[in-house]
Amino acid sequence: MYFNIQRFSTHDGDGIRSILFLKGCTLACSWCQNPESRSEKRSLLFDPSLCLSGCSACLEVSSAITRDHTDAVIINRPAVNELYLDRLKTVCPTKALSVCGEQAHTDLLCEQLLKDKPFYIQSDGGVTFSGGEPLMQAELVRDIAQRMHQEGINTAVETCMHVPWKNIESVLPYIDCWLTDLKHTDAQKFKLWAKGSLSRIKNNFQRLAKQAKRLVIRVPVVPGFNDTRAELQEIVDFAVSLESCSELHLLPYHTLGSNKYNLLDIKYLCSDKPLNNPELLADAQLYAQNHPLSRKQFTVKIRG
């Protein structure tokens, strides 16, 4: 299952890229800006500000949707089944209701991704798998990445590393660049904020570092979670200890996707303000650059 192909991206890997966003994630990070990607099934989004008064198109195709005494549309989400989603996909005239997620077919996806092959080749770009957690669908990633390699196209994957090692191993020969997340080094805090096992991630890092062609570690810097000097320094210590890690990216927290939580009717529990602490990021950058284990080719970037 996938939910988007973003063409002409210049942010997720080198050059001009297409990003294939796959559904489903094994973590539930409080600050996640793509909450529509969490479920491996299709998701229903509803924006009341676009809903037309007097319209009943969605009510006619799904008994899970009603209007209350104020005429507001009410969705009984647990009652929204696959059949309703099929019907709701195209029924709303204003896109107040939209369904996120499409069945993935390898051939069709490759066909779409290959449309921009000339741009990838000219710019040293390629195809990036993202999500959600793309390696939950490792077989699909492997098949598409293998096809891209046959076409001479560079591949990258953005992963939280919270997957069984066999999923990583199965795509390894076909991935040129690993854009990996390291969010914390404290297992309890990680469990509390991201709902996952840090030891699984660390074990995967130790194994991947021995085999990855290129390993980039990305750190979302989130208020209240890891925005202290000591926490960032411990993350840097771990990143630098992985011999093949060539880059560390510090990603300051933003809130650009927080409205999606309203559309999905989920509570957003993270800060409503972006991280505004350039000194902290500069300090962590300096710490990494001057680290005794840091190598010549190790670079640290602060991304916007």
Are 276 and 302 in contact by the 8 Å Cβ rule? The answer is no
Q: Which of residues 5, 45, 57, 110 is near ligand SF4 by CB under 6 A?
A: 57
Smaller CB distance to ligand SF4: residue 49 or 276?
49
In whole angstroms, the minimum distance from the beta carbon of 78 to ligand SF4 comes to: 18
Smaller CB distance to ligand SF4: residue 89 or 117?
89
What CA–CA distances, in Å, run from 131 to 32, 155, 237, 281? 11, 15, 27, 26
Closest residue by Cα to residue 154 from 164, 145, 163, 143: 145
In whole angstroms, the minimum distance from the beta carbon of 263 to ligand SF4 comes to: 12
Closest residue by Cα to residue 181 from 208, 148, 213, 146: 208
Alpha helices in the chain (DSSP H): 57-61, 82-91, 106-114, 117-123, 138-150, 165-171, 187-194, 198-208, 229-241, 259-264, 278-289
Q: How many residues bind ligand SF4 (CB under 6 A)?
A: 13
Smaller CB distance to ligand SF4: residue 83 or 282?
83
Smaller CB distance to ligand SF4: residue 60 or 107?
60
Task: State yes or no: residue 264 binds ligand SF4 (CB under 6 A).
Answer: no
Instruction: Give the footprint of ligand SF4 on residues 65-104 (CB under 6 A).
Output: 73, 91-94, 96-97
Cα distance between residue 165 and residue 234, in whole Å: 24
Smaller CB distance to ligand SF4: residue 52 or 83?
52
In whole angstroms, the minimum distance from the beta carbon of 57 to ligand SF4 comes to: 4
Task: State yes or no: residue 63 binds ligand SF4 (CB under 6 A).
Answer: no
Closest residue by Cα to residue 113 from 130, 135, 99: 130
- Residues lying near ligand SF4 in the complex (CB under 6 A): 51-52, 55-58, 73, 91-94, 96-97
